[in-house]
Chains A and B, each alone.
Chain A
Amino acid sequence: MEKLHAVGQSAVRVDGKEKVSGAALFTDDLEFGPDLLYAEIVEGPHAHAMITKIDTSEAEKVPGVLCVVTGRDFPYNFGLYMKDRFIFAQDRVRFFGEQIAAVVARSPAAAKKAARLVRVSYKPLPKILNPLDAIEGDASLIHPGLKSYEHVPWFFPQPDTNIAHHRKIRKGDVEKGFAEADHVLDDTYEVPRYAHCAIEYHAAVAKYDHSGRLTVWASSQSPHTQRNLFANALAPMGIRHNDVRVIAPHVGGGFGSKAGVTMEILAAAIATRVKGHPVKVMWNREREFYNTYQRLGVVARLRLGVKKDGRITALHHELYWDAGAYVEYGANVVNAVGLSAIGPYRVENASIDSYCIYTNLPPGGPYRGFGYSEFLFGLESHMERIARHLGIDPVEIRRRNAIKAGDLTAYGAKMNPSGLMQAIDAVAKEIRWDEPVLPGNDEEAVGKGFSLFWKAPAMPPNTSSSCFLKFNEDASINILVSGMDIGQGFLTVMAQIASEVLTVPLSKIRTENPDTDRNPYEWQTVASHVTWGCGNAVKLAAQDARNQVLDLVSRTQNLPKDTLYLAEGSVRCVTKPSFRMALEDFVIHGIQMPDGTFRGGPIMGRGVFMPEYATTKADPETSQGGHPNVHYTVGAAAAIVAVDKKTGKVKVRKIVEAVDCGKAINPDLVRGQITGGILQGISTVLYEEMKFDHRGKMLNPNFTDYKIPTSLDLPDEVVPIIIEVAEPDGPYGARGMGEHTMIPVAPMIANAIDDALGLRIKTMPITAEKICLALLKKNEVR
């Protein structure tokens, strides 16, 4: 392989200095001048109710109030994969806290004061707070209009039910597989809802100016998708795509919550009612919890058959997803899991039923891991239990079943190359899997747990990324892309790829978060796909620019193009070692000929990437025949935990995680993703717990009672391991790994707790309280 100078280096982040100096501006840091208006949202206090009357008259009288808008102003539906969502509630509310109206005022205090004066009358409807209740025959319908909603062709809604989508896999002969099994384990696991908890709130400012231009500044993972959805939703008002401009400043954490469109559309819509004024909609911590997306909950029944030697003969996975009140994005989580719920294993006989179920809880949507954390909690718990039952080492059973390149996935396409075996071996060695661990004192029990993981980007088959790359006079570069740096280091990695191709140092490359008017198309920054997808586009754009450079030099200097190459920012020639033309001498102003004329002009590269082999066309009854996922990223992880037997408190002593990212373009940033993802995973399994009351109201929408870890809650040791088995169509072999790092954590901690205590907990979270009460029930402590 060629020697790389920029790719593979742990470069300092290109946005680092902004962030450590306080210069980095986030949406709410932008200035909009003294004409800025503020909108306060009025929320419904019912999980399911008809709206019978909205009286805004008292609110309109508050000094400083400009107007009050309601669902009547915007009778439009929208959504990413299925148009089941509304800007403001129309005839009914479907979750506690849903937006009913907005008050627009000159000051936040006036807007707040007036919002409390909007009077709304309701007629309560039966509410459904559990997905299993929602599929009972007599359950009331949450979306009577389901059959009329537009949706992508790979969704299969069940009309006149609460099932918005059902993804089915039928592969091989499952009955035969179970008949051949020496041991079958059948059990049910529950993973509840979780919140993303980005520290920055959602924020959006919109201005619809008197020329008909709608500009939205938003904290967003998806500027182009937002533009698309705003333009589609507001099309009845005469708004077209090129009227809409989305500008995305720095994003203070996303984790999926700022993908697609949630509250941002409120700003866009409200702005059309206060033409000429910028209007700000700020979420607060409470709404971050109950009115953006939540991670979907799931009840997963898993049946797995194995031979005595641990080899899997059959798998049946039924997943009942609590997808919430609107599933326009969440239904694709259900779909992704439906396609992949065999895990990173070779399973010849598989059936999967993944049901997307409406409930009267907040909308479920994308969350780091996109459903894979949820189903792997059960599957990887199952693998460990089966191994122990059969007396096989838990690492060995995974080696025996691990999927290899060329094996068939659940939908019948071939598995991509992967370093799964290397990951398993590296983790087992680093954690010293074969050596016993010892408790620190009498009150402590210690144990080890293992887990594999995999995940594919879940995207439409025609998802694309694009890039413009332009030179400046001094041969510095601006890269224009529309992926978002949400902390993962996307901009740095793009700069490193361009630096690699063009041999221009990183310090001379600028790449920033986008403006949809100026920057070319990117679908969204989700699915851990931008390093791969947009990385390809940047590499192609850089190669395009290099090609133009070499062409120009070749035709002006009479040197064969194939003898020219770039090194350290200059064009060199293999046959003429003394030849050197520095890029800054011609990338803008061209090259002067003997007659005084010039050739060339500004060098601008263009790159477009779309995976042209992907398709969702498949038999809906079996899902066989398509190629819906471009590739899977895999890895392995292990943990050592110590449990205080009297209190149930878990201390994580060590975690090792190996991920095959194909090529670590910036190893430091890859390790950063591992360290951060592991703590987020620990948090979901040990600490975080949403509480809802009987009305469907979330009781702990705050950091006081929804606990995310502090610096005092870290594992004693985290060892990140990078495996590099190249992805054939990745830039320098890279594939995504950002989401994946948290996926194995919950099952491996559950496995380690079981190892320590002989206690198998099948519902998340596994809090100290849950462990302790289970031990008390077993009469093992007092």
Chain B
Amino acid sequence: MKKISFTLNGERRQVHVSPNEILLEVLRYKMGVKSPKSGCDSGDCGACTVILDGKAVRSCLIFAVEVDGQEILTLEGLSADGLSPLQQALLEKNAFQCGYCAPGMILSAHELLSNKPHPTEGEIKEAISGNLCRCTGYQPIIDAIKSLTQKR
């Protein structure tokens, strides 16, 4: 067991982990942060996406010990002060159906918009291309992100 500490949604947190513990599982089962989901455990689906030091990454492919001293944002953090304009647009457009892919999808889009407030449709598709959704056919999600970039 190793004690690590990192910033989770703006709060400094400490936790004891074994080297074989995956970040996704530590977040979910040891720290009570449930929005990152498991959908493949192999980096294919993007449901476990979190923002690590500003980048959207797969928390199922990271050992928890690796993030010592770093900063993690999950959807809980993004929602802390109410819905972001991105979340609001997705809500109003009924962009999601079952909602299981939503946390990962939103964080991938959030990373894109943080770096590029006015992306093209192609850039939007590229940014969320690692987040699998089986319900929506993606178009409503893309349209919602697009509507937001036009509004700005």
A residues apposed to B, CB below 8 Å:
10, 12-13, 15-26, 28-29, 31, 109, 196-201, 250-255, 284-285, 486-489, 668-669, 672, 675-680, 702-704, 708-712, 714, 718
Asked if A702 contacts B79 (CB within 8 A), the reply is no
Indicate which residue in A17, A26, A285, A712 contacts B41 across the interface (CB closer than 8 Å).
Answer: A285
Contacts of B20 in A (CB 8 A): 109
In the complex, B59 has a CB within 8 A of chain A: no
Question: Using Cβ atoms and an 8 Å threshold, which residues of chain A touch B129?
Answer: 710-712
Bound form: Cα–Cα A14–B44 in Å? 30
Which residues of A have CB within 8 Å of B94? 10, 12-13, 16, 489, 668-669, 672
Residue of A nearest to B141 (CB): A711
Q: In whole angstroms, what is the CA distance A16 to B98 when docked?
A: 10
In the assembled complex, the Cα of A320 lies from the Cα of B67 at a distance in Å of: 54
CB neighbours (8 Å) of A255 from chain B are: 134
Please name all residues of chain B whose beta carbon is closer than 8 Å to the beta carbon of A109 when the two chains form the complex. Answer: 20
Q: At the interface, yes or no: B96 with Cβ under 8 Å from chain A? A: yes
Interface residues of B in 39-56 (CB under 8 A from A): 39-42, 44-45, 47
- Can you report 24 residue pairs joining A to B where beta carbons are below 8 Å apart? A10-B94, A12-B92, A15-B99, A16-B94, A20-B106, A24-B102, A28-B37, A198-B100, A199-B37, A199-B101, A200-B39, A201-B38, A250-B98, A250-B100, A252-B98, A253-B98, A285-B40, A285-B41, A675-B140, A679-B138, A680-B134, A709-B138, A710-B130, A712-B125
For A31, the closest partner residue in chain B by CB is B32
Is the C-beta of B97 less than 8 angstroms from some C-beta in chain A?
yes
Chain B interface mostly: loop
Instruction: Give which listed residue, A250, A253, A714, contacts B137 with CB less than 8 A.
Output: A714
Q: Which residues of A contact B78 (CB under 8 A)?
A: 22
How many Å lie between the Cα of A711 and that of B105 in the bound state? 11
Query: Which residues of chain A are within 8 angstroms of B35 by Cβ–Cβ distance?
Result: 22
Closest CB in chain A relative to B123 CB, distance in Å: 11
CB distance from A202 to the nearest CB of B (A): 12
Q: How many A-B residue pairs have CB under 8 A?
A: 160
Which residues on B sit within 8 Å (CB–CB) of A709?
138
Q: When chains A and B are docked, how far (Å) is the Cα of A668 from the Cα of B139?
A: 13
Known: A29-B34, A198-B134, A703-B42. 20 other contacts (CB 8 A): A15-B99, A19-B96, A19-B102, A21-B75, A29-B28, A197-B134, A199-B133, A201-B39, A250-B99, A251-B98, A252-B98, A254-B98, A285-B41, A488-B97, A710-B132, A710-B138, A711-B125, A711-B126, A711-B131, A712-B125
Contacts of A250 in B (CB 8 A): 98-100
Residues of A within 8 A of B72 (CB): none
**In chain A, what residue has the closest Cβ to B33?**
A22
A703: B residues at CB distance < 8 A: 40, 42, 44-45, 132
Collect the chain B residues with CB atoms within 8 Å of residue A680's CB: 134, 137
Do A285 and B42 have beta carbons less than 8 Å apart? yes
Residues of A within 8 A of B76 (CB): 22
Complex contact A200–B37 (CB within 8 A): yes
The count of residues in chain B whose C-beta lies closer than 8 Å to any C-beta of chain A is 54
Most buried by A among B32, B47, B100: B100
B147: A residues at CB distance < 8 A? none
B149 to chain A, nearest CB (A): 16
Say which residue of B32, B42, B97 sits within 8 Å of A676 (CB atoms). B97
Q: Enumerate chain B residues within 8 angstroms of A488, measured Cβ to Cβ.
A: 97
> 7 closest Cβ contacts across the A-B interface?
A252-B100, A19-B99, A487-B97, A487-B98, A22-B75, A22-B35, A703-B44
In the complex the two chains form, what is the Cα distance from A718 to B136 in whole Å?
12
A676 touches B137 (CB 8 A): yes
Cα distance A669–B136 in the bound complex, in angstroms: 10
- Of B40, B78, B98, the most chain A CB neighbours within 10 A belong to B98
Q: A12-B92, A714-B138 are in contact. Are A26 and B37 (CB under 8 A)?
A: yes
